[in-house]
Structure 1
Amino acid sequence: MTKKRICPKCKSTAVSPDLSAQAYGKGSFFNQYKCNKCGYVGQFFPEVDDEDDS
């Protein structure tokens, strides 16, 4: 079973690593995520089971 990250603000699963210059400059390049729906950026994006897994 695979896991998906969800946005803690809007509950969207459209989440990707934050590869912005700001994240790189803060040194959080590898552990910061961004919601592609609402734009929320942070380190805490909970993981849930992917219900589409067969």
Structure 2
Amino acid sequence: MNDAKTPMTREERLAARLRENLKRRKAQARAMGSASGSESESPDSPETGLSNSAA
């Protein structure tokens, strides 16, 4: 695709890094989802982000 003589432009480098980052984050999210599976359905999970003290 690219010759060794022609360097990638800044935009091309950024786009490639963004694609790699997205792939890595998706894989990480899949791994976290399969690992925690039933744990996330727990009613007393502290990860809900909601607080009952705000009335």
What is the TM-score of this pair, normalised by structure 2? 0.18
Name the structure where strand makes up a greater proportion of residues: 1
Name the structure where helix makes up a greater proportion of residues: 2
